[in-house]
Amino acid sequence: MGRGALELVACMLVCASVAVADSDPQPTPARPEVSWYGSVKPVAAPTSARVRHTVLRGGAFVLGGLTYVGATAYGRIDLGVPAPLSLLPQLRAALVSEISAGTDSDQTLRRTLALTPTAQYEWHLPFQPKRGEILLIIGAGLRRSQLWVKKPEEPFWPSQWESTTAYAFRLTPGLEYRAFSGLIVSFQPSVGFPLNTPDPPDARWMTTTPERDLGVSLVAGYQFQ
């Protein structure tokens, strides 16, 4: 067989192999490797991140409600503003006003006005309602209480208003709910530590040493933007 015939046979074999390769449109994929830990990769469970939405209100606030100290009920009004301190963004200042009026069994009239400049600090609790947030607050202030008393008319003792002043250090922890709409509801127990013994205005007053007092307040109101 000559050289030309060999080249012709080789060319025919190459063409036949190419035709066979083109006739298989879907080649068989290689078998995947099998791992000791399984052939299917485990899917990680989706993680849900809890998003905290704080009440973004930094304006003044006004609260009103009731305070009970022992058996005495006071009407209460709070006026306050957040403190403009970048290092203490949770600090706020408030002026707590408490008013009481009543008549004793012996027809003695009593009027009380107490003013307490207070500094309050707040902490966000780890749980949150849908429409707001709950905070733990603690406040401390100096309470100045002015008491006016008018006793009934007596022989040689004309009936007139007399007053005395008492000072106390007040510590107030509490829980507070703040809504996104600006609503505030606050529950505040309190304890007062007397700082002085008021002087009696006349001899008919009985002088007693003031003692530590316990109270509780429930106030509600609104905070502006």
Q: Which secondary-structure segment (H or E) carries 118?
A: strand 109-124
Q: Which of 223, 224, 215 is nearest to 66 (CA)?
A: 215
3-state helix, strand, coil in the chain (%, to 5): 10, 50, 40
Helices (H), 61-132: none
Task: Using alpha carbons, select from 148, 87, 86, 78 the residue that is nearest to residue 117.
Answer: 78
pTM above 0.75, yes or no: no
User: For position 104, what pLDDT does the model report?
Assistant: 84
Q: CA-based angle 146:151:153, to the nearest 5?
A: 150
How many Å apart are CA 76 and CA 59, to the nearest integer?
20
Q: Which CATH architecture has domain 61-82+91-117+131-223?
A: Beta Barrel (2.40)
* Rounded Cα distance, 164 and 158, in Å: 18
pLDDT recorded at residue 17:
54
φ and ψ of 147, to 5 deg: -115, 125
Confidence at residue 47, expressed as pLDDT on a 0 to 100 scale: 56
Tens digit of each residue's pLDDT, the chain (225 residues): 555 555 655 556 555 555 544 555 555 555 655 555 555 555 555 555 555 556 667 789 999 999 999 889 999 999 999 987 778 888 999 999 999 999 888 888 999 999 999 999 999 998 878 889 999 999 999 999 999 988 888 777 778 888 899 999 999 999 999 999 999 999 999 999 999 988 877 766 776 778 899 999 999 999 998
CB atoms within 10 A of CB 73: 14
Note the residue count of the chain.
225
- Look at residue 200 in the predicted model and tell me its pLDDT: 79
Q: Which residue ranges make up each domain of the chain?
A: 61-82+91-117+131-223
Interatomic CA distance for residues 166 and 148, integer angstroms: 12
What pLDDT score does 87 carry?
A: 83
The 10 Å Cβ neighbour count of residue 132 is 20
Residue 71: its pLDDT value, please? 85
Element (H, E) at 73: strand 72-82
